[in-house]
Amino acid sequence: EEEEAIRAEEELMNGSVSSSITSGHDEIENLRAEVESWRSGRRLFDAQSVSSNITTLHHDDVAQLQLERDEALEEAKSANEKHLSALKEIEKLRNALNNSKPLEAIPETAAPTQRSSFCAIFRFFQSSAPENYDSASIHY
């Protein structure tokens, strides 16, 4: 009887242990499935996050390039305006030179600096575009 009681107790314990082991295996499988589900969801989230970051970076790059383009256009406009202003000033000086009296018409009593300034201006324009000036009509 005692042996039978021990055997019954052992069977009960073995059944309980076996049941606990099976239950533990099931719980482990459930945890694995949950972890895998979380990982795949995380991967999806990461992919969406990366895609969102790429889109944001793309918009930032486009905005930066547009800003740089606008700055370059402003610089080009400014340089063009300065160039046109300089051309107008040169044209005014050329017209003034073409409409001026010959050098011999400048009174001999004029200060030497006036004569040399006029000659320097004339030489500058003559050297920049000699075909526009008839040097034979100018008397030194």
pLDDT in tens, 49-71: 767 777 777 777 778 888 888 88
Do residues 61 and 126 both lie within one domain? no
Domain interval for residue 133: 101-140
Do residues 117 and 81 both lie within one domain? no
Do residues 105 and 95 both lie within one domain? no
State mean pLDDT over 1-23: 71
**Nearest-angstrom CA–CA distance, 68 and 123:** 43
* Among 93, 70, 90, CA closest to 82: 90
Torsion of CA 101, 105, 108, 112, to 10 degrees: 20
Q: To the nearest 5 percent, what fractions of the chain are helix, strand and coil?
A: 90, 0, 10
Do residues 25 and 41 both lie within one domain? yes
Do residues 92 and 114 both lie within one domain? no
* Among 110, 85, 131, CA closest to 118: 110
Do residues 90 and 26 both lie within one domain? yes
Do residues 30 and 68 both lie within one domain? yes
State mean pLDDT over 74-88: 89
Q: How many domains does the chain have?
A: 2
Do residues 48 and 116 both lie within one domain? no
pLDDT in tens, 90-122: 888 888 888 876 655 555 555 555 556 666 666
CA distances from 35 to 27, 31, 32, 42, 68 (A): 12, 6, 5, 10, 48
Do residues 90 and 114 both lie within one domain? no
* Residue 124 phi, psi dihedral angles, 5° rounding: -60, -50
pTM for the model: 0.34
The pLDDT value recorded for residue 52 is 74
Do residues 94 and 84 both lie within one domain? yes
Q: Which of 83, 99, 115 is the last residue of a domain?
A: 99
Do residues 42 and 88 both lie within one domain? yes
